[in-house]
Amino acid sequence: MLHPPHQSLQVAAVPSQRAPAREQAGPWHTEAVCRRDEAGLFFAPSKEPTAARLAREEAAKRVCARCPVMIECREHALLQPEPYGVWGGLTAAERRVVLARRRRREIELKAVSPADRIAAAG
C-alpha cells in the first residue's frame, strides 16, 4: 500500500523489512514511474529558490506515491546512500533522518539483552 508523502517519513523510520517479492523479472528501476517523467523534477538545479525547491519536491513525491517500486527505490537510496534528489518519496534530508533513526534503533536493540527481548515479546 502506498502512503501519502506526509506519512512517508514516519513509515520509513522503522527498521527495514523486505518488500514482497515482485513477480516480474528485471531490475526494479525498469518499472519506476519516474522513468517516464522529467528527471529535473527529482533533482535540484543549482541556486534553486526555497519555494521552488519545496514545490518541485512535493511534485516529485506525488510521482513516487503512485510508483509500484517506491519501496525498492527508497531502500536503494538508503543503502547506497544517495546524497541528492528525491528517491522513494523521500528527500535527501528525510533520508538522513531515516538513517539516523535506524542507527539509533540498532544501537538500542544491541543494548537490550536477548532475555529482555524474549520477555518483552512474550
**Per the annotation, does 4 bind a ligand?**
no
**Per the annotation, does 73 bind a ligand?**
yes
**Per the annotation, does 62 bind a ligand?**
no
Q: How many residues does the chain have?
A: 122
3-class state of residue 60 by DSSP:
helix
Q: What are phi and psi of 14, to 5 degrees?
A: -75, 155
Q: Report the C-alpha gap between 12 and 95 in whole angstroms.
A: 9
**Per the annotation, does 115 bind a ligand?**
no
Task: Mark the binding-site residues, compressed into ranges.
Answer: 34, 64, 67, 73
Task: Mark the binding-site residues for [4Fe-4S] cluster, compressed into ranges.
Answer: 34, 64, 67, 73
